[in-house]
């Protein structure tokens, strides 16, 4: 995989460099609530601009349906990027139309432009190779060189991620190089004990990674909505908690494999349970009870791990040499159900291990709960991409950069 430093050594002054970034930031009323992904790609963009490149930044945001939707405009991300770079960033109001062409043509050496949300064009995400390729052809007209640095999208076979690198000289940006380097530390020559914390809503989202980690991790701590399928598989009442009954046979097989392999698969011992899902907008005080994990009342829903589980999980992390965490262990968006996720984050900051926060909601939780990002070994920008890498899958965006 060619590095950006190699590209810079060859010279980029005056060249149009297309940077496939991941500016898929959360918005509330048009305001960015977490700019972590923009800050993560800023070093690559800044270095290219300093070297005199004419930088064309592209990304997706959200899931528009292949046509323009103002709710998913990249305009706020472009404005924030300009603030971080300390320079004006031009913004094209389309992807490959007149505005994009005019905006790119107007760039001088060292200047930066952002084009509108790539997913406003159906060709970006099309499963049809010809349609996707046609969109990639039009994107290629905007650039002389391609730099892939949107790690959060490398697991997608999309036009700007997979097809475009084949049409231009290409290299990997600093963010992708860092992310891949970190993930290699989780898959090869891992320092032990290796502890994995998995949360999130659905066990089905994590089955493949659990399957892989059962042969690699020393301990797997389970939390979040997915925990209730494990508890149900053990024969416990889970009330109205989130449950995927169709996954119980697979979960039972994993529990048996873990025991056979000597992998600690640790489940919650107590739960915060309520009759009502919390109000996440007004964040009114929640009404809940703390119960043993095997005694959740039939009319209640588990929404966070309890205090005994927090202590248990912190103790399981304390002596680790490597920790990977993906997925909050409770409804952290509400302060009354954030203590479990906060305890996991706190345990990671107090650990001497190499700690990796695996993107997505986990990264958002760390920032929302006020933790110093520098207290963790690495905070990934790609939850889905990180998981698929750990599953051993070939990621289209990385494969395209290696050709």
Q: How many CB atoms lie within 10 A of CB 340?
A: 27
384 is catalytic: yes
Identified catalytic residue from 200, 360, 382, 397: 360
Respond yes or no: is residue 310 known to be catalytic: no
The residues that bridge with 113 in the sheet, in sequence order, are: 56, 90
Neighbours of 42 (CB within 10 A): 18
| From 223, 327, 358, 384, the catalytic residue | 384
Residues 6+ apart with CB under 8 A from 209: 198, 326, 387, 390, 391
The single residue listed with the structure tokens 């009404």 is 287
Number of neighbours of residue 70 by Cβ within 10 angstroms? 8
Closest CA to 59 of 37, 43, 79: 37
Q: Which of 101, 202, 216, 367 is catalytic?
A: 202
Is 62 considered catalytic here?
no
Active site includes 302?
no
Q: Which candidate in 37, 119, 232, 310 is catalytic?
A: 37
Catalytic site residues?
Answer: 37, 202, 360, 384
């Amino acid at each position: 995989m060619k590095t950006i430093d190699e590209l810079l050594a060859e010279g980029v002054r005056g060249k149009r460099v297309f940077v496939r970034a991941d500016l898929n930031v959360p918005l509330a009323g048009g305001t960015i609530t977490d700019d972590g992904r923009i800050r993560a790609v800023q070093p690559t963009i800044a270095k290219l601009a300093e070297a005199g490149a004419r930088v064309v930044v592209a990304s997706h945001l959200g899931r528009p349906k292949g046509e323009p939707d103002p709710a998913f405009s990249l305009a706020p991300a472009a404005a924030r990027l300009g603030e971080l770079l300390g320079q004006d960033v031009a913004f094209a109001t389309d992807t490959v139309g007149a505005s994009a062409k005019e905006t790119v043509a107007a760039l001088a050496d060292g200047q930066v432009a952002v084009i509108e949300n790539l997913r406003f064009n159906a060709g970006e995400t099309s499963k049809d190779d010809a349609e996707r390729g046609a969109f990639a052809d039009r994107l290629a007209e905007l650039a002389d060189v391609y730099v892939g640095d949107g790690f959060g999208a490398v697991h997608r076979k999309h036009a700007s991620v997979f097809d475009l690198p084949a049409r231009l000289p290409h290299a990997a940006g600093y963010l992708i190089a860092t992310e891949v380097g970190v993930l290699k530390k989780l898959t090869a020559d891992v320092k032990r004990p290796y502890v994995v914390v998995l949360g999130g809503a659905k066990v089905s989202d994590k089955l493949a990674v659990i399957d892989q980690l059962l042969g690699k991790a020393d301990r797997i701590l389970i939390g979040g909505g997915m925990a209730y399928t494990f508890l149900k598989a053990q024969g416990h009442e889970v009330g109205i908690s989130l449950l995927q009954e169709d996954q119980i046979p697979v979960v039972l097989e994993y529990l048996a494999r873990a025991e056979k392999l000597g992998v600690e698969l640790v489940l919650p011992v107590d739960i915060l349970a309520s009759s009502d899902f919390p109000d996440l907008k007004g964040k009114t005080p929640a009404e809940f009870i703390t119960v043993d994990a095997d005694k959740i009342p039939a009319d209640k829903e588990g929404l966070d791990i309890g205090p005994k589980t927090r202590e248990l999980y912190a103790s399981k992390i304390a002596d680790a040499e490597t920790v990977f965490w993906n997925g909050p262990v409770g409804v952290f968006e509400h302060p009354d159900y954030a203590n479990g996720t906060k305890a996991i984050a706190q345990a990671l900051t107090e650990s001497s291990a190499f700690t990796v926060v695996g993107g997505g909601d986990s990264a958002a939780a760390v920032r929302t709960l006020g933790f110093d990002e520098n207290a963790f070994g690495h905070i990934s920008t790609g939850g889905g991409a990180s998981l698929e890498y750990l599953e051993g899958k070939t990621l289209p965006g990385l494969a395209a950069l290696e050709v």
